[in-house]
């Protein structure tokens, strides 16, 4: 598993050692857990108010969680109910190159709500090297207020695919559902488009394959035993369905196209006609189409973020980046930053574009209005556009993998982001404040429960995979002191002293401060072993947690 190779191997080793030391019982998934795992990769709206689907991947397997959320009188987002279910150990929606692949279309996980099919995700199996890099089909999760069934559905693979250079060239990179024709459209790279027709029922689907002949502006049928040279056809990277016009938008290796309800194929943009369009998203009021382009340059990836308002006759134009005064920048900020789009959330006139830098860990989202990408701060040298940890989107410095908009209640459109290692964050005020929702069991007030997440770490390293969060709750405002002791009860670290913490319905932890990174008070890594964490308040309450460090380097 390429992108888990260091942290994953370490955590698997840690599980074995920790089990011997009897300290990993808290890692077991219990019915009271909030999420399947804190390593969340997708978020998507559910069927009702406050419903949110989360797909996450842990050390050993993957699973889906259906959350039901509400907004308190103070504006805080709270968890009302949660149900989760794992997929089989041999399948997942998260391909192992999601953090290392440079191609934009492979750096996101598409999700679609597809009628009776339920929530649909791509499905990857293990290749000969033991990595999740073998596209197999789709995972469909059925149920509205509960998870009724999870179906792992293979898609038929034509014999012509054997001549392609890599299995990832036909990975599922886009999903869109036509509710009128009850057809799920699936973008499959060099295999073009797959139509998954469930008009006869979700359990009696009809699957058909179409490959894109750009020269003749046609979609040809690809039979299972066809001997076609697929490299002569144009790859399809993403799809989006417009319910108002009945058009399917198709992002391809050569331009952006539309397929109308009568099956007529047409170019959607002269500007993008020869470009490698890797993503397309529709939404907002007024309705806007956002497209992404990306191609490998001589020294780096060349990318662009494009936009068109459907009510206007203008063609697509690059989304400008504007400073705090509203002045557009002359430089191409998007391309210079090597961004690729993970997803786009639409709320009214604004678009929230989740991005990730190629070859790095820089992530966040761009806030886009009618003028363009809005800067939130500027100095003499550069403006700042990327919303992330520094702007309070997450309470720990975790990578943002996905974003979505969903109705929290009849008056509130919520935003949610999925993070790699810190669960999800939800906003009830259009991104101004955020509430973190982590994978944690119910905590008792007055330090009745102290839980270390995770309970096995390595020392140092400077990222959240090497930190254990001290999770606790107090029933009234308190001053908290947190200290770490070795197995023989010698104090090795004081994390905070008399730090103010507020009473909270779920957790009083300050995730920016209440973490232990396996180091002592002098910055040296503690030896491998079990350590106790004591949390005291100024009202006489004391709670204890337990964590294991595998040691490490400074």
Domains within the chain, CATH numbers bracketed: 1-32+440-554 (2.60.40.1930), 34-437 (2.130.10.10)
Q: What is the mean pLDDT of residues 145-168?
A: 92
Q: What is the mean pLDDT of residues 324-337?
A: 92
Over residues 213-256, the pLDDT tens digits come to 999 999 999 999 988 889 899 999 999 999 999 999 999 999 99
The pLDDT score that the predictor gives to residue 552 is 76
User: Are the C-beta atoms of 54 and 119 separated by less than 8 Å?
Assistant: no
Under DSSP, the state recorded for 267 is: E
Sequential DSSP letters for 150-168: EEEEEPP--GGGGGSS-GG
Q: Which two tokens stand for residue 321?
A: 């980046």
Full-model pTM:
0.84
For a pLDDT cut of 90, what percent of the chain falls above it?
A: 74
> Distance between CA 392 and CA 88 in Å, rounded?
35
Sheet order of strands, 321-322 included: 321-322, 373-374, 363-368, 350-357, 339-347
> Distance between CA 44 and CA 347 in Å, rounded?
14
Statement: residue 386 has pLDDT above 70: yes
User: Are the C-beta atoms of 283 and 351 separated by less than 8 Å?
Assistant: yes
Selection from 450, 451, 468 nearest residue 459 by Cα: 468
> Distance between CA 361 and CA 364 in Å, rounded?
10
Q: What is the rounded radius of gyration, in angstroms, for the C-alpha atoms of the chain?
A: 24
Q: Which long-range contacts (CB under 8 A, 24 or more apart) does 357-365 make?
A: 358/102, 358/300, 358/301, 359/102, 361/399, 362/337, 362/386, 363/388, 363/399, 363/400, 363/401, 364/388, 364/389, 364/391, 364/393, 364/400, 365/393, 365/400, 365/403, 365/417, 365/431
> Distance between CA 169 and CA 144 in Å, rounded?
33
> Distance between CA 468 and CA 531 in Å, rounded?
11
Sequential DSSP letters for 433-457: S-EEE-S-PPPPTTTT--EEESSEE
CA angle 296, 7, 391 (to 5 degrees): 70
Q: Which two tokens stand for residue 489?
A: 């009860």
Over residues 483-515, the pLDDT tens digits come to 999 999 999 999 999 999 988 877 888 888 999
- Tell me the backbone φ, ψ of residue 13, rounded to 5 degrees: -65, -40
CA pseudo-torsion sign 251, 107, 390, 52: positive
């Amino acid at each position: 598993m390429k992108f888990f190779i260091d942290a994953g191997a370490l955590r698997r080793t840690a599980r074995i050692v920790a089990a011997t030391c009897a300290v990993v019982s808290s890692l077991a998934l219990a019915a009271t857990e909030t999420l399947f795992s804190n390593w969340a990769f997708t978020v998507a709206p559910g069927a009702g108010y406050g419903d949110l689907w989360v797909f996450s991947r842990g050390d050993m397997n993957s699973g889906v969680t259906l959350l039901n959320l509400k907004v308190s009188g103070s504006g805080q987002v709270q968890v009302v109910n949660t149900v989760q279910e794992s997929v089989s150990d041999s399948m997942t929606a998260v391909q192992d190159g999601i953090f290392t692949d440079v191609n934009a279309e492979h750096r996101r996980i598409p999700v679609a709500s597809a009628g009776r099919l339920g929530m649909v995700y791509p499905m990857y199996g293990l290749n000969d090297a033991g990595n999740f890099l073998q596209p197999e089909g789709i995972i469909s999760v059925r149920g509205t207020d509960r998870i009724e069934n999870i179906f792992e559905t293979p898609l038929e693979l034509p014999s012509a695919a054997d001549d392609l250079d890599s299995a990832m060239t036909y990975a599922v990179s886009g999903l869109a559902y036509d509710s009128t024709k009850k057809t799920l459209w699936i973008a499959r790279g060099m295999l073009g488009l797959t139509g998954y027709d469930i008009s006869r029922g979700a359990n009696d689907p009809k699957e058909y394959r179409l490959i894109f002949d750009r020269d003749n502006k046609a979609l040809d049928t690809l039979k299972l035993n066809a001997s076609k040279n697929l490299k002569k056809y144009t790859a399809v990277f993403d799809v989006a369905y417009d319910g108002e016009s009945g058009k399917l938008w198709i992002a391809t290796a050569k331009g952006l196209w539309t397929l109308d309800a009568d099956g007529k194929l047409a170019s959607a943009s002269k500007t993008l006609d020869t470009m490698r369009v890797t993503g397309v998203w529709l939404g907002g009021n007024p309705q806007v189409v956002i497209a992404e382009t990306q191609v490998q340059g001589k020294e780096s990836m060349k990318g662009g973020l494009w936009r068109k308002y459907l009510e206007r006759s203008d063609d697509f134009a690059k989304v400008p980046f504007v400073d705090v005064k509203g002045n557009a920048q002359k430089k191409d900020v998007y391309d210079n930053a090597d961004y690729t789009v993970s997803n786009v959330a639409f709320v009214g006139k604004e678009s929230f574009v989740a991005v990730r830098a190629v070859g790095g860990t820089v992530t966040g989202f761009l806030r886009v209005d009618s003028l363009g990408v809005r800067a939130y701060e500027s100095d003499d040298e550069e403006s700042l556009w990327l919303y992330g940890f520094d702007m309070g989107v997450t309470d720990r410095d975790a990578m943002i993998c996905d974003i979505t908009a969903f109705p929290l209640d009849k008056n509130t459109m919520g935003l949610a982001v999925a993070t790699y290692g810190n669960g999800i964050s939800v906003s009830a005020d259009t991104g101004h404040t955020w509430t973190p929702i982590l994978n944690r069991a119910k905590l008792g007030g007055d330090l009745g429960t102290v839980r270390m997440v995770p309970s096995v770490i390595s020392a140092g390293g400077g990222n959240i995979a090497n930190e254990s969060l001290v999770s606790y709750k107090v029933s009234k405002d308190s001053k908290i002191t947190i200290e770490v002791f070795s197995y023989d009860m010698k104090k090795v670290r004081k994390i905070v002293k008399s730090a103010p913490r507020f009473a909270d319905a779920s957790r009083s932890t300050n995730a920016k401060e209440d973490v232990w990174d396996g180091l002592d008070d002098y910055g040296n890594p503690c030896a491998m072993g079990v350590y106790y964490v004591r949390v005291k308040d100024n009202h006489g309450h004391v709670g204890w947690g337990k964590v294991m460090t595998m040691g490490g380097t400074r």
